[in-house]
């Protein structure tokens, strides 16, 4: 006989509270394990595909590991140093860009830049603020990233955790399934499949879209000759998972930089704008329909809200788990609404009897 609903809610509430408390107190400690789990989840379909082609699980994981190691070495030697260099240069050149903007506005709109005007004072402070605060932020990130502890955690523990989780993924899923309460196992399996479908569509699909678009933006902007094309393209690709934000943010930044660099060369400026227009066309008509689909179920506003809340409460780890939790909460909310609409509370006694 199943436990009363009140007792079940108590146990599930205690489990949820323990999870949130662990996330609160152990955020920095569990970071490499969260990253490793995310990587293993992302690569599990690749391992399953290799197994379907005749490889053993061990051989499949070994192939994935070797390819990932090769990509990491190429990125570490070729891309990351250039990306860091351009990011630092962008922060340092911000004051000069602000002065150029001030000179342009002084020529076109002199009444806005009187010595005592708010616009004039704002433009004078923006460049120095970006350079000082942005430089401090970048230096702190870099200094923490190159510390011995973080290097060990991010470049040793994360791959090891991802390797073992990927190798034992199917066994872990079977063990968890065996631990499900028998009275609710079927419902939990259905909800888990729905959550997995949502996550697979969003995380794997949008992750691939972000990678493809980020690479396209970076290479295209560098070929056009934009001075900070690599960092702008990487930024645009990184935030592509929020619909239109990546293209708008990256496009505005790229076109703004192009106006300063190519002023008068309207062809180059048009090419920069065209790169983002073409990127949006490719994303909306090819990448997103093929890789993500239309049944993700994560509204952009709900996604931004989840990222903001979990990021504020739990820091960087909270942002990592925000998307999976948002997907899970969305699926559970839809299930609860369905149960409510089938209940007597919604249907009423008359509809219940007529049914």
pLDDT of 202-231, one tens digit each?
777 777 888 888 888 888 888 888 877 777
- Which segments of the chain does DSSP mark as H helices, in order? 5-25, 27-52, 57-74, 80-108, 118-145, 148-152, 158-167, 169-178, 185-199, 205-224, 229-238, 245-261, 266-282, 300-341, 344-354
Would the pLDDT of 84 be above 70?
no
Confidence of residue 308 (pLDDT cuts 50, 70, 90): confident
Residue 336 near residue 346 (C-beta atoms within 8 A): no
Confidence of residue 144 (pLDDT cuts 50, 70, 90): very low
Percent of the chain with pLDDT over 70: 69
Would the pLDDT of 174 be above 70?
yes
Would the pLDDT of 88 be above 50?
yes
Would the pLDDT of 107 be above 70?
no
Would the pLDDT of 148 be above 50?
no
239 vs 272, residue with greater confidence? 272
Closest CA to 224 of 263, 272, 279, 281: 272
**Average pLDDT, integer, range 10-30:** 77
Confidence of residue 341 (pLDDT cuts 50, 70, 90): confident
Q: Which range (120-124, 235-239, 247-251, 289-293) has the least confidence? A: 120-124
**Average pLDDT, integer, range 119-139:** 58
119 vs 328, residue with greater confidence? 328
Would the pLDDT of 274 be above 80?
yes
Would the pLDDT of 141 be above 70?
no
At 19 the pLDDT is 78
Would the pLDDT of 97 be above 50?
yes
Would the pLDDT of 344 be above 60?
yes
Would the pLDDT of 39 be above 80?
yes
Q: Hey, how many other C-beta atoms are within 10 angstroms of the C-beta on 188?
A: 14
Question: Measured between alpha carbons, how far is 114 from 121 in angstroms, rounded to an integer?
Answer: 9
- Best mean pLDDT range from 79-88, 156-165, 317-326: 156-165
At 5 the pLDDT is 64
Q: Rounded mean pLDDT of the chain?
A: 75
Structural domain boundaries in the chain: 28-169, 185-296
**Average pLDDT, integer, range 246-263:** 78
At 130 the pLDDT is 55
Q: Which range (87-101, 129-143, 152-166, 252-266) has the least confidence? A: 129-143
Question: Measured between alpha carbons, how far is 138 from 11 in angstroms, rounded to an integer?
Answer: 44
Model confidence, pTM: 0.62
Confidence of residue 28 (pLDDT cuts 50, 70, 90): low
Question: Measured between alpha carbons, how far is 238 from 246 in angstroms, rounded to an integer?
Answer: 7
Name the burial class of residue 2, with classes exposed (0-12), middle (13-18) and buried (19+) by CB atoms within 10 angstroms of its CB. Answer: exposed
Question: Measured between alpha carbons, how far is 292 from 174 in angstroms, rounded to an integer?
Answer: 27
**Average pLDDT, integer, range 40-53:** 88
Residue 240 near residue 209 (C-beta atoms within 8 A): yes
At 266 the pLDDT is 81
Question: Measured between alpha carbons, how far is 325 from 261 in angstroms, rounded to an integer?
Answer: 43
**Average pLDDT, integer, range 269-285:** 85
Confidence of residue 317 (pLDDT cuts 50, 70, 90): confident
At 108 the pLDDT is 59
At 42 the pLDDT is 82
**Average pLDDT, integer, range 163-185:** 86
């Amino acid at each position: 006989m199943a436990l009363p609903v009140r007792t079940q809610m108590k146990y599930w509430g205690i489990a949820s509270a323990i999870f949130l408390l662990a996330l609160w107190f152990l955020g920095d400690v569990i970071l490499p394990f969260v990253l490793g789990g995310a990587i293993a989840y992302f690569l599990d379909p690749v391992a399953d595909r290799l197994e379907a082609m005749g490889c053993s699980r061990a051989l499949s994981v070994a192939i994935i590991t070797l390819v990932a190691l090769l990509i990491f070495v190429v990125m570490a030697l070729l891309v990351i140093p250039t990306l860091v260099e351009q990011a630092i240069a962008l922060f340092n050149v911000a004051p000069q860009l602000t002065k150029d903007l001030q000179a342009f506005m002084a020529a076109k709109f002199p009444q806005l830049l009187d010595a005592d005007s708010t616009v004039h004072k704002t433009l004078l402070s923006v460049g120095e603020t970006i350079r000082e605060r942005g430089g401090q932020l970048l230096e702190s990130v870099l200094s923490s990233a190159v510390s011995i502890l973080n290097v060990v955690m991010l470049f040793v523990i994360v791959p090891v955790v991802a390797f073992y989780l990927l190798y034992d993924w199917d066994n872990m899923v079977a063990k968890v399934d065996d631990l499900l309460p028998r009275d609710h196992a079927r419902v939990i399996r259905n909800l888990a499949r729905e959550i997995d479908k949502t996550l697979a569509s969003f995380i794997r699909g949008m992750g691939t879209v972000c990678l493809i678009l980020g690479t396209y933006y970076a290479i295209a902007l560098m070929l056009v000759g934009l001075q900070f094309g690599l960092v702008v393209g990487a930024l645009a690709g990184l935030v592509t998972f929020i619909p239109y934000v990546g293209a708008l943010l990256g496009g505005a930044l790229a076109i703004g930089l192009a106006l300063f660099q190519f002023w008068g060369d309207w062809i180059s400026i048009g090419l920069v704008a065209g790169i983002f227009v073409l990127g949006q066309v490719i994303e909306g008509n090819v990448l997103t329909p093929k890789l993500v689909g239309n049944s993700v179920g994560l509204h952009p506003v709900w996604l931004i809200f989840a990222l903001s809340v979990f990021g504020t409460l739990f820091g960087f780890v909270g942002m990592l788990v925000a998307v999976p939790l948002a997907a899970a909460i969305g699926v559970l909310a839809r299930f609860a609404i369905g149960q409510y609409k089938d209940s007597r509370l919604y249907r009423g006694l008359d509809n219940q009897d007529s049914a």
